[in-house]
Structure 1
Amino acid sequence: MTTPDVITPSQLIAKHSEDLSSVLPSHVHAPVWIRVAQGAVRRDPKLMKAATETPASLMVALLNAARLGLEPGTEEFYLTPRKVKGKMEVLGITGYQGIVEMMYRAGAVSSVVAECVYDSDGFDYQPGRDELPMHRIDWDSNDRGELRLVYAYARLRSGATSKVIVLNRAEINKIKASSMGSDGDYSPWRTNEAAMWLKSAVRQLRKWVPTSAEFRDQLRVDAQGIARVQAEVAAGRPRAVVLNTETGEIEDSDLDAIDAEIVDPADPWLTGERTDDPEADQ
């Protein structure tokens, strides 16, 4: 009796390359993305083991990465092995660089700043008084101490500055506690803690900055949505807005945007006055 050949994770990815390619955004070169995914699995024995034991979990993670247009197995999108009921599985986790990439891709952001603050750093920021944080680092120090704070903000193409996000260790610990797989041996919360602090900050920042190219396209054609945003700004009540990708409608978020900034509806990229590639100026 012959034993059926076991398909490797790399072969599985190749077999379903068309399915993965079909959900990739148009700007992503599918063959390169597929090779990146195969290389990520091949170079990590623990990830290879998890993908072999539970191939379905690998495909779910890769489909999520493809849908977001992020490179799997990088700091854009982690492929993390974890043990569930005695069996290894693959968990896909969007990294902070992936969130930042989606912000840039939307075209409304000219730069994103995200930094960790350590015990020996100087840090001063008071909302309403300061536009931006003052972060002082002793670059000659051999040890900056423990992680203390993390902050993030964005410069918008309109010239405005987004809401400044500042999180302390207690807030980070709450986020970590609610994060799936954060206590796993291979979780980036253990292997790359600073990166996860940065992700927590930029994830909060994402609420105030568009992260979808469709947002820009929708603002161009949805005059009613633009008028609503302009009215909010004129009334001194800037709000966060989101695009419902299922309905195609711009909706107010349920966030309290007391001192937030939003994309200026008069931004030439949003109004259609400029149609060139917004990435070209970077």
Structure 2
Amino acid sequence: MALTTLKERVQQRAAAVASGEDIEHGRGEDVAETPAGHGHDIEQFRADIEAALPKHVRVDLFLAALRPVLPKLRKCTPASVLQSVITCARFGLIPDGQQAVITADDRIATFIATYEGYVELMYRSGLVKAVVAQLVYEGDEYEFVPTARSGEEFVHRPNILASKKDRRPLFAYAFAWLDGGARSNVAIVTLEEAEEIRDEHSRAYQRAEANGEKNSLWHTRFDRMHLKTAIRRLAKLVPKSAELRALVAVEEAAEDGKPQILAAIDPETAGLEADARRAHRAAEASQDVPAPRLAVKQRGRAKPRRRHRDKNKRR
């Protein structure tokens, strides 16, 4: 089925569900709580969901993972629920909390891919053979030498016997082994960078902080969001499929308060708009801000022996 046809069907369905509500769903104060199972009866949209899903994902599996999520979306507008579900289906990701999450963001249902979802799309491209993403904690050994030969510039030796509960994560990293045996550059996101990205770009986090609820994914899954930030940075370093570019555009649309579904079903235009937004932000950013420092070597490691001794000491 052509994407333009799917786009038209989704817009028609959304309008019908919302009883005239426009696809640019708002966050009005008059949105009443919808009892679970009423208004969000997703079975009536089975055909639309199945049309959006890739052929390798069964609609029954998708709906089975979706049904337990719907009661949590009862305060969201019906149009936003439908659009987030269709968007999730468009990428063939299961909304089970592992590959993707559909969450309530100020009465708007929002699709969010996890870092496993990003990795899944990387694998599907056929250009990426393996992805490594880890957090480096205090007490781990690591070394990052950007000028070293590719494949030898980064080493991480985790302290697997130490409890992570009492150790602070220092940074997240991600890299990929590509088709043909080459390894991508290493994407690194320090703890400070992750917190800055959360504070500046996550509207859900900002609202949760303002409301004192502390229930955003950055509150409840900080380590996973930290890893996802590294994976999103890695997505810019590996060969990009159209699907992966569309996923980045979809999440950026949500960050900008725009309907995700339009980016999902028109990825080329969404990608161009996302590039324009990034260029605009870069142009407005101060040129005096220094580049973030990357962790290069753990200070606790043993120092190498000095090769040249003082001649006076020999005497």
Residue of structure 1 in register with 2:80 after alignment: 57
Amino acid at match of 1:101: E
Residue of structure 1 in register with 2:170 after alignment: 148
Residue of structure 1 in register with 2:98 after alignment: 75
Query: Are the equivalent residues in 2 in contact too, given 1:100–1:112 (CA < 8 A)?
Result: yes
Deviation at 1:23, TM superposition (A): 1.2
The DSSP-based 3-state class of the residue aligned with 2:173 is strand
- Give the Cα separation in 2 of the matches to 1:76 and 1:171: 24
Aligned-residue RMSD, C-alpha:
3.1
Query: Are the equivalent residues in 2 in contact too, given 1:71–1:77 (CA < 8 A)?
Result: yes
Amino acid at match of 1:100: V
The DSSP-based 3-state class of the residue aligned with 2:41 is helix
Residue of structure 2 in register with 1:209 after alignment: 238
Query: Are the equivalent residues in 1 in contact too, given 2:84–2:102 (CA < 8 A)?
Result: yes
Query: Are the equivalent residues in 1 in contact too, given 2:35–2:74 (CA < 8 A)?
Result: no
Residue of structure 2 in register with 1:66 after alignment: 89
Is 1:119–2:141 an aligned residue pair? no
- Give the Cα separation in 2 of the matches to 1:134 and 1:203: 21
Amino acid at match of 2:94: E
The superposition leaves residues 110-167 of structure 1 with CA deviations (integer Å, 9 ceiling, x where unpaired) of 1000001112222211112152421122222124511210000000121111111111
TM value normalised by structure 2: 0.59
Query: Are the equivalent residues in 1 in contact too, given 2:134–2:174 (CA < 8 A)?
Result: yes
Residue of structure 1 in register with 2:118 after alignment: 99
Deviation at 1:50, TM superposition (A): 2.9
Rg (Cα) greater in structure: 2
- Give the Cα separation in 2 of the matches to 1:75 and 1:19: 23
TM value normalised by structure 1: 0.66
Residue of structure 2 in register with 1:30 after alignment: 59
Describe the shift of the 1:6–1:147 C-alpha distance in structure 2 as closer, same or farther (beyond 3 A). closer
- Give the Cα separation in 2 of the matches to 1:90 and 1:67: 16
Residue of structure 2 in register with 1:239 after alignment: none
Query: Are the equivalent residues in 1 in contact too, given 2:50–2:59 (CA < 8 A)?
Result: yes
Amino acid at match of 1:129: A
The unaligned stretches of length 5 or more in structure 1 are: 42-47, 216-243, 248-252, 256-282
Query: Are the equivalent residues in 1 in contact too, given 2:242–2:267 (CA < 8 A)?
Result: no
Deviation at 1:10, TM superposition (A): 8.9
The DSSP-based 3-state class of the residue aligned with 1:181 is helix
- Give the Cα separation in 2 of the matches to 1:71 and 1:211: 21
- Give the Cα separation in 1 of the matches to 2:175 and 2:167: 24
Is 1:159–2:178 an aligned residue pair? no
Residue of structure 2 in register with 1:222 after alignment: none
- Give the Cα separation in 2 of the matches to 1:124 and 1:78: 34
Structure holding more helix per residue: 2
Query: Are the equivalent residues in 1 in contact too, given 2:130–2:177 (CA < 8 A)?
Result: yes
The superposition leaves residues 193-250 of structure 1 with CA deviations (integer Å, 9 ceiling, x where unpaired) of 11101100011111122353779xxxxxxxxxxxxxxxxxxxxxxxxxxxx9548xxx
Query: Are the equivalent residues in 2 in contact too, given 1:9–1:55 (CA < 8 A)?
Result: no
Aligned residues: percent identity? 31
Amino acid at match of 1:140: L
Amino acid at match of 1:75: Q
The DSSP-based 3-state class of the residue aligned with 1:71 is coil
Is 1:172–2:194 an aligned residue pair? yes
Deviation at 1:170, TM superposition (A): 2.3
The unaligned stretches of length 5 or more in structure 2 are: 1-33, 209-213, 245-265, 270-274, 279-315
Deviation at 1:9, TM superposition (A): 6.0
Describe the shift of the 1:53–1:213 C-alpha distance in structure 2 as closer, same or farther (beyond 3 A). closer
Describe the shift of the 1:9–1:206 C-alpha distance in structure 2 as closer, same or farther (beyond 3 A). farther
Amino acid at match of 1:160: A
**Count of aligned pairs between the two proteins:** 211
Describe the shift of the 1:40–1:214 C-alpha distance in structure 2 as closer, same or farther (beyond 3 A). closer
1:187 to 216, 225, 239: 216
Describe the shift of the 1:208–1:66 C-alpha distance in structure 2 as closer, same or farther (beyond 3 A). same
Deviation at 1:39, TM superposition (A): 3.1
Residue of structure 1 in register with 2:27 after alignment: none
